């Protein structure tokens, strides 16, 4: 972890239904510049709420959240959102506008000239490995799930953010597409020097893509660290979560012997 955390949660809390449901309960977590953090947890663990607190799609009840050194409460939420990329669960593309317009939406909101947006869109289509000529003028309903999510990633990157937040971005895709997209995004993260937080319920995906993994349950942060750190954890839930990728790895090693030696 680098010296300056780009995103820092400090004793953050958020409850719904007049305090009856504690979605996020006293969470302290830092993400350094250039880091790829995965937050893993089941449904209702509070992981999505935690993510949305960062760009103020949800407002925190207590504690403080700093993004690029600034307390988010002191920043206009609209401007905050425009400088943070956000990838939605199933793309969240606007169905009534073309791929190019979807990708160019945040620059457009920022008042970027049209020609500049246009060349930026082409650049981004290359970046997410979609053919410019073929996809530029299509509409979201004409794309496959994987293509839609690539457009979603391109849209998140359009205004050249330093930070990208991803809400279960690859969850609804078939395993092959998911794998290819995960790898492609990991490469982009590295190439563009992004700082990324990704929400997932899949520990295998988290371990394979992220530098660091945080585990949440019932609003609380149970553990965080590199996969190797987590492996040493005594928490039974963390152990249970890590059990799945371990079993998968063992089973795969058995089923797919290398060098012919079983």
What is the binding site for another protein (CB under 8 A)? 55, 57, 78-79, 81-82, 86, 88-90, 92-96, 105-106, 109-110, 155
Least separation in angstroms between CB 38 and another protein: 19
What pairs with residue 70 in β-bridges? 67
Q: Which is nearer to another protein, 147 or 207 (CB)?
A: 147
Q: Which is nearer to another protein, 20 or 96 (CB)?
A: 96
Q: Which is nearer to another protein, 110 or 249 (CB)?
A: 110
Q: Which is nearer to another protein, 79 or 251 (CB)?
A: 79
Q: Which is nearer to another protein, 136 or 246 (CB)?
A: 136
Distance, first Cα to last Cα, the chain: 39
Least separation in angstroms between CB 67 and another protein: 14
Between CA 107 and CA 113 the distance in angstroms is 8
Selection from 196, 101, 210, 209 nearest residue 158 by Cα:
101
Least separation in angstroms between CB 221 and another protein: 24
Q: What is the DSSP string of 188-215?
A: HHHHHT-EEEEEES-HHHHHHH-SEEEE
Q: Which is nearer to another protein, 22 or 81 (CB)?
A: 81
Least separation in angstroms between CB 162 and another protein: 15
Least separation in angstroms between CB 164 and another protein: 12
CB-based burial, 68-106: b 16+ in 10 Å, e otherwise: beeebeebeeeebbbbbbbbbbebbbeeeebbbbbbbbb
Residue 194: Cβ within 10 Å count? 21
Selection from 10, 53, 46, 40 nearest residue 219 by Cα:
46
Q: Tokens 């909101």, residue?
A: 109
Least separation in angstroms between CB 52 and another protein: 9
Reduce the DSSP state of residue 7 to 3 states and report it: strand
* Inter-residue contact 166 to 198 (CB < 8 Å): yes
Least separation in angstroms between CB 17 and another protein: 18
Q: Which is nearer to another protein, 57 or 218 (CB)?
A: 57
């Amino acid at each position: 972890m680098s010296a300056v955390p780009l995103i820092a949660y400090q004793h953050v809390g958020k409850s719904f239904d007049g305090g009856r449901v504690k979605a996020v309960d006293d969470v302290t977590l830092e993400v350094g510049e250039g880091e790829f953090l995965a937050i893993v947890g089941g449904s209702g663990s509070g992981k999505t709420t935690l993510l949305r607190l960062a760009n103020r799609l949800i407002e925190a009840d207590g504690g403080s959240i700093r993004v690029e050194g600034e307390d988010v409460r002191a920043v206009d939420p609209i401007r905050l959102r425009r400088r943070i990329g956000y990838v939605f669960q199933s793309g969240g593309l606007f169905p009534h506008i073309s791929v190019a317009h979807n990708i160019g939406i945040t620059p457009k909101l920022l008042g970027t000239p049209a020609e500049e947006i246009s060349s930026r869109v082409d650049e981004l289509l290359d970046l997410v490995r979609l053919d410019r000529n073929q996809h530029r003028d299509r509409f979201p309903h004409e794309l496959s799930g994987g293509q839609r999510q690539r457009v979603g990633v391109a849209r998140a990157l359009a205004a050249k953010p330093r930070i990208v937040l991803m809400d279960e971005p690859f969850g609804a895709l078939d395993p092959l597409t998911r794998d290819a997209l995960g790898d492609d995004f990991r490469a982009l993260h590295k190439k563009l020097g992004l700082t990324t937080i990704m929400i997932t319920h899949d520990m295998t995906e988290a371990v394979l893509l992220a530098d660091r993994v945080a585990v949440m349950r019932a609003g609380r942060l149970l553990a965080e660290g590199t996969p190797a750190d987590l492996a040493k954890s005594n928490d039974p839930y963390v152990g249970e979560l890590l059990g799945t990728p371990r079993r998968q790895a063992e089973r795969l090693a058995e089923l797919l012997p290398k060098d012919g030696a079983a």
